[in-house]
């Protein structure tokens, strides 16, 4: 008899769902990227407006995903929605780009932030050696992949703990800022629009940096199949989680400006640490410690969801078959998780992968826009489909238009060859799609069959329950 398994056993409840959204959204971004948003906007007022607008945009996008996630209750984020609305080719290009670049490079950047904050106390007065940072980042990736391979429940507990830790440090920063404002430190929060930038490209870049800190609002859609009562818990977690993060981000930025001038904030290597040194001394060490907790939690959430996308894409035949297999003993998609971890470690090796993420951000928002467009398309092509959550179609239209702006603004304002290279990479996936997926050339199966069998024995994994 053929042995099969299913991923998890619906371990993720409402609290864990909120923690996954909040914990993945709040990584290192709010402790580091306020500089980038301020540099692009040029003044405090528009900077705070961009942070608030990013929260609104993330909420609108997430509401679209709430309808999609309760209509098509499959894991894998945007993948099943693009598949349903536009067919396998669009879904494949999304999975190819996300699995090979977006998810592992994001995982790698968060791990590098974690490693840098971990290593800094051991090298007072100087930057930690790059080899130390990279080794620590690789070790953190291995540890996180191991946790996620061992148990869905353990990964959820880890996520819940680190989410509580990061909300604590945000509360400390907000209270510290409120105390400083109460003492009269309001000079940086007056005439806040003086010197503001009006450049089309600069505003787009500010949104990019703000939305990088908000990224993660769609994470619960990657694990829909493992949610308890997804029709209730998916929209509820979104409605609670994303506004909570938005409020936290705006209040934290106000707290920063209660302590630092815009110039001082731009010159600070790590804004939250500078804040801690000025407000929390002699216990300022808690800020870098909790930033370490925050980045580790975000990396765990990123790994948790990336594995599900790889698993679902492989289950549909768009990735190597063995990556759709599940641990027989632990009910986790361990081959998919391990693959994501290995690719993330590879991305740690180059000197600077931030450039990579900057140029591929336009691809991320292109797929967000396509997913919102998928919702509009399915309103007409699948009218009879049950929709437990139904958002006004104008919200999906706004998300499509804003996504188009975010994709086109940097390209029009400052056209660079790197955007062309990214586009070429996305469509290079077609080289593999037509022979291996569409036409299913026979010789590839002959090569992969023994490799799949040996990996199955080594990892103790079996096909998913719904595999043919």
Average pLDDT of the residues in 282-310: 88
Average pLDDT of the residues in 169-175: 92
Q: Which of 5-9, 131-135, 175-179 has the lowest mean pLDDT?
A: 5-9
- Distance between CA 23 and CA 29 in Å, rounded? 12
Average pLDDT of the residues in 28-53: 85
Check whether 10 has a pLDDT greater than 60: no
Residue among 307, 304, 302, 275 nearest 291 (CA): 275
Q: What is the pLDDT of residues 207-217, one digit of tens each?
A: 878 887 888 88
Q: What is the pLDDT of residues 60-107, one digit of tens each?
A: 999 999 999 999 989 888 999 999 999 999 999 999 999 998 889 888
Residue among 30, 24, 20, 28 nearest 247 (CA): 30
- Distance between CA 433 and CA 93 in Å, rounded? 9
Q: Which is more confident, 429 or 123?
A: 429
CB 270 within 8 A of CB 75: no
What is the per-residue pLDDT for 467? 47
What is the per-residue pLDDT for 1? 41
What is the per-residue pLDDT for 270? 74
Check whether 446 has a pLDDT greater than 90: no
- Distance between CA 388 and CA 372 in Å, rounded? 17
Check whether 351 has a pLDDT greater than 60: no
What is the per-residue pLDDT for 379? 94
Residue among 332, 20, 309 nearest 149 (CA): 332
Residue 468's pLDDT band (cuts 50, 70, 90):
very low
Check whether 274 has a pLDDT greater than 90: no
CB 391 within 8 A of CB 186: no
Cis peptide before 336 (omega within 30 of 0): no
Q: Confirm whether pTM is higher than 0.95.
A: no
């Amino acid at each position: 008899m053929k042995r099969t398994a299913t991923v998890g056993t619906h371990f993720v409840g409402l609290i864990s769902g909120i923690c996954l959204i909040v914990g993945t959204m709040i990584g290192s971004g709010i402790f580091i990227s306020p500089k980038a948003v301020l540099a692009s906007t040029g003044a405090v007022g528009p900077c705070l407006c961009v942070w608030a607008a990013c929260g609104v945009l993330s909420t609108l996008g997430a509401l679209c995903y709430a309808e999609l996630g309760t209509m098509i209750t499959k894991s894998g984020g945007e993948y099943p929605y693009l598949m349903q609305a536009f067919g396998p080719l669009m879904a494949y290009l999304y999975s190819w780009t996300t699995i090979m670049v977006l998810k592992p490079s994001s995982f790698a950047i968060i791990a590098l932030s974690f490693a840098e904050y971990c290593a800094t106390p051991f090298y007072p007065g100087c930057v930690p050696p790059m080899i130390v940072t990279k080794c620590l980042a690789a070790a953190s990736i291995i540890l996180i992949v191991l946790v996620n391979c061992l148990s869905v429940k353990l990964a959820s507990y880890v996520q819940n703990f680190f989410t509580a830790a990061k909300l604590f440090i945000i509360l400390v920063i907000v209270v510290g800022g409120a105390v400083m404002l109460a003492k009269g430190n309001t000079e940086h929060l007056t005439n806040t629009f003086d010197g503001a930038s009006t450049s089309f490209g600069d505003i787009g870049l500010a949104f990019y940096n703000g939305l990088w800190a908000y990224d993660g609002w769609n994470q619960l859609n990657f694990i829909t199949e493992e949610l308890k009562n997804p029709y209730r818990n998916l929209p509820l977690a979104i409605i609670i989680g994303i506004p909570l993060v938005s409020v936290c981000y705006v209040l934290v930025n106000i707290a920063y400006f209660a302590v630092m001038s815009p110039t001082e904030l731009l010159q600070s290597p790590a804004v939250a640490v500078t804040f801690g040194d000025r407000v929390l001394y002699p216990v300022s060490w808690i800020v870098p410690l909790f930033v370490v907790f925050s980045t580790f939690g975000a990396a765990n959430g990123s790994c948790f969801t990336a594995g599900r996308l790889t698993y679902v894409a492989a289950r549909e035949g768009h990735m190597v078959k063995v990556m759709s297999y599940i641990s027989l003993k632990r009910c986790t998609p361990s081959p998919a998780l391990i693959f994501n971890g290995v690719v993330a470690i590879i991305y740690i090796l180059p000197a600077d992968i931030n450039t990579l993420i900057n140029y591929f951000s336009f691809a991320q928002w292109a797929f967000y826009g396509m997913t919102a467009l998928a919702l509009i398309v399915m309103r007409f092509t699948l009218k009879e489909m049950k929709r437990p959550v139904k958002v006004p179609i104008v919200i999906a239209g706004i998300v499509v238009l804003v996504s188009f702006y975010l994709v086109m603004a940097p390209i029009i304002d400052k056209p660079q060859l790197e955007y062309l290279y990214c586009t070429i990479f996305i469509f290079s996936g077609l080289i593999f799609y037509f022979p291996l997926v569409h036409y299913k050339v026979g010789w590839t199966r002959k090569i992969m069959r023994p490799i799949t069998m040996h990996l199955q024995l080594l990892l103790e994994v079996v096909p998913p329950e719904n595999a043919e």
